[in-house]
Structure 1
Amino acid sequence: MNSYTRRTAVVSLAAALVAGLATGESLPAAALDRTATGGPAPLPRAHAHNDYEHPRPLLDALDHGFGSVEADIWLVDGRLLVAHEEADLDPSRTLESLYLAPLRRRVQANGGTVYQGHRLSLQLLIDIKTAGDPTYRALSRVLHRYRELLSVCTGGRVRSGPVTAVISGDRGARAPMEAERVRYAFYDGRPEDLGTAAPASFAPLISTSWTDTFRWQGHGPMPRDERARLRQMVSAAHAERRRLRFWATPDAAGPEREAVWQALLDAGADYLNSDDLPGLEAFLRDTAHGVM
């Protein structure tokens, strides 16, 4: 059985376990071990891209152990609505209702952590789709109401909380963020931020497009020059105590996607980006990478 077939079998087994729970059938001992502490061990390197498009935003990602989730926000009549496209906006789907309030309830129930028994700070990547300056100012007021959950930066000193909000999207958010002495959010930088005066306490994450950076999409061996470039980017980010994430990696199930994921793991990249929650979970657990 090759690696892709084996991981497909793992996903099928997970689905069977869920079905067993629904019908009251007994679970195998391994599954009982996995659920004994209230859920799977978290996967710090798993990032749920466009998380809000799943049937149960946030909750599906947490059920699969993801260490990072992404929500796109729009400022509409003073409210922060969550959607990928403007046509999909729904007044009931707010950042608070889908993410912040459920996280508050979960952290309270778990005694101060998102994942019971694990000190992982969940990354909440908030992608701003409307003008950055006014949207961030509105977001900052909302985050302040949930400050007991959040990592905070005060005068350049960072205190980690159960959730770390990182702001991406429209670059107009940068100026009001930098002006805050007490800040409950952090900035998603770009490769051009490496080597600049922006400290990791402000921009701890560097994100960029895979397809804009590399020609290789997982078919055949990764070209030597591109493998070297990937390792150099990881090294440059880590030298400045920043994490590195690529979006737009191949995400159709198959060996090409897994080849790219493996190359990212081998190079030490901090996050794997996917819309396929069970597929990425199975890959990371099967390869014994990224499990806390």
Structure 2
Amino acid sequence: MNPFDNILDDEEIQELRKNHNHLRIKFNVLSIFTIIFIFSGMVLFKREKFPTYLEDLLNQPPNRLLHNINQSNRSNYSNVENFQNSLVSNLNGGKGTIQLHSQNDYWRESPLFDALKSGIISIETDCWYLDGQDYELFIGHYKYQLTNYKTLNSLYLGNLNKILDDVNSYNYKNSIEGEEKKGVFNDDPTQTLYLTIDIKNNPELTFKTLQQNLEIFQLKNYLTYYNTTSNEWFKGPITIIISGENIPYDSIKNLTIRNTFIDSPLYEILDISNQSNHSEFELKYSNQLSIFASSSLEKLIDYRSSSLSNYDFVKYGLNDEQIQKLKQYISKAHELGLKVRIWDTSINYDSLYNSLKTNIGINNKGNNNNNIIWNQLKELEVDLLNVDNNVDLLNNDAMIAAIGVSNNNNNNNIKYHDIEDNYNDINSNNSLS
């Protein structure tokens, strides 16, 4: 007989087993809550670092942020009231709009929203197509930088759709085809936002995926488009530009309702226009296919040539030879009905930024000489200038004065090239100026 057989009776053994099971359940529950807590912390950290959601940016609960008025009461609000109390009034009310282009916008602390808060009318992002991800396009400069939470939808299209629904009190039942919609700028609701997409790989599949993502915008009249059948333009709150070395020219040309447009190579415009190959010229520079022609300042003025390489652009500006060369490019583009965007305007951005602060007499009140290069480009009627440091630049009064723009309500519509968007004229000559 085992001396330990009678230490515990059956009832005590059952009680121990019961207690053991309770402890195991408590441990499992505690483990689950611990995992949830850690995961929630990771999500909050990620969203704090990448505040791409509307409620993160404005620090408001979603129901207040999007004015959670029930649909039956929405119809009692006038369009004016809806617009004045909408999200855009919180984003950029009183700021006006400025003719700047936020290059590599996804590098910002708050992609899209930093530009909108400053009234910047044009932004650019790099898009990648990945096999097996048929509906998503991924955002990043290099492929190894791509992540699941940085997509065209999560950073840009999803947020723009919410903003435009809010500002237009969108209702499928009341939507009218061809109806003009208000845009994302509170003080200039007819100003379109140019969303430039640099296709980094696989242009045809990227373009196909992009079109799938744009279907809802097209349905709601949120996109600028050109009707190739009626030869008419429709101006929408968002205008999509395709840029880079992988532009699917033929796919864009073959669209009946053309809701994406080509970023034409400005530096080639003189050479191609003088050639006999009219088909290539029409494909790249037709004002029914393109709205902008762009290039780096370096390419346009041949900065690396031996006679110009030592020229101090930031301090002295462009010389007469360079100005005359630029005039030819800009005049040709405007003659064709295209806007002009010039990027890399300082050759070295750090040099520009430091010179603005120290080298050209900026004081705290902002009374100063304009930055020389930017001022020269404005005089040459360049329509858009690129800026990488837009947040730092536009939150500083001295920087604002240096580039000749204002974010106060007394002077809120300064433009580098004062072209009035008269769509009656546009429809008559089939170009979008």
Instruction: Identify if the C-alpha distance between structure 1 residues 157 and 193 changes in structure 2 by more than 3 Å, giving closer, same or farther.
Output: farther
C-alpha displacement of 1:117:
4.0
1:49 match: 103
1:265 match: 378
* Distance in 2, Cα, partners of 1:98 & 1:272: 23
C-alpha displacement of 1:83:
0.9
* Distance in 2, Cα, partners of 1:69 & 1:49: 6
The 5 A counterparts of 1:1-292 are 38-43=93-98, 45-76=99-130, 77-78=133-134, 79-111=136-168, 112-118=182-188, 119-147=190-218, 148=220, 149-155=222-228, 156-191=231-266, 192-193=268-269, 195=273, 196-198=281-283, 199-214=286-301, 215=303, 217-250=313-346, 251-252=349-350, 253=353, 254-255=355-356, 258-278=371-391, 280-281=393-394, 282=400, 283-286=403-406, 289-290=414-415
Give the letter for the 1:285 counterpart: V
Give the letter for the 2:117 counterpart: D
C-alpha displacement of 1:164:
0.3
* Distance in 1, Cα, partners of 2:327 & 2:151: 38
C-alpha displacement of 1:262:
1.3
The structure 1 segments of at least 4 consecutive aligned residues displaced by more than 3 Å after TM superposition are 34-37, 278-281, 286-289
C-alpha displacement of 1:35:
7.7
Instruction: Identify if the C-alpha distance between structure 1 residues 36 and 172 changes in structure 2 by more than 3 Å, giving closer, same or farther.
Output: closer
Give the gaps of 5 or more residues in structure 2. Answer: 1-57, 60-88, 169-181, 274-280, 304-310, 360-369, 395-399, 419-433
Give yes or no for contact 1:48–1:70 (8 Å, CA) kept in 2. yes
Give yes or no for contact 1:133–1:175 (8 Å, CA) kept in 2. no
Query: Which structure: greater helix fraction?
Result: 2
Larger RCO (CA within 8 A; separation ≥ 6): 1
Instruction: Identify if the C-alpha distance between structure 1 residues 240 and 106 changes in structure 2 by more than 3 Å, giving closer, same or farther.
Output: same
SS of the residue corresponding to residue 282 of structure 2 reads coil
Instruction: Identify if the C-alpha distance between structure 1 residues 63 and 275 changes in structure 2 by more than 3 Å, giving closer, same or farther.
Output: same
Two-structure CA RMSD over aligned residues (Å): 2.6
* Distance in 1, Cα, partners of 2:112 & 2:102: 9
Give the letter for the 2:405 counterpart: R
C-alpha displacement of 1:279:
5.0
SS of the residue corresponding to residue 241 of structure 1 reads coil
Question: Deviations for 1:72-124, whole angstroms, at most 9, x for unmatched residues?
Answer: 10011322011111111011111111111211222222232111241100100
Query: Which structure: greater strand fraction?
Result: 1
Give yes or no for contact 2:103–2:124 (8 Å, CA) kept in 1. yes
C-alpha displacement of 1:261:
1.3
* Distance in 2, Cα, partners of 1:164 & 1:107: 13
* Pairs aligned (count): 260
Give the letter for the 1:41 counterpart: G
Give the letter for the 1:284 counterpart: G
SS of the residue corresponding to residue 41 of structure 1 reads coil
C-alpha displacement of 1:206:
0.5
Give yes or no for contact 2:226–2:234 (8 Å, CA) kept in 1. yes
TM-score (normalizing by structure 2): 0.56
Percent pairwise identity:
25
Give the letter for the 1:52 counterpart: Y
Question: Deviations for 1:175-228, whole angstroms, at most 9, x for unmatched residues?
Answer: 111111112111111133564324212111101121122225333242111111
1:17 match: none
Instruction: Identify if the C-alpha distance between structure 1 residues 193 and 142 changes in structure 2 by more than 3 Å, giving closer, same or farther.
Output: farther
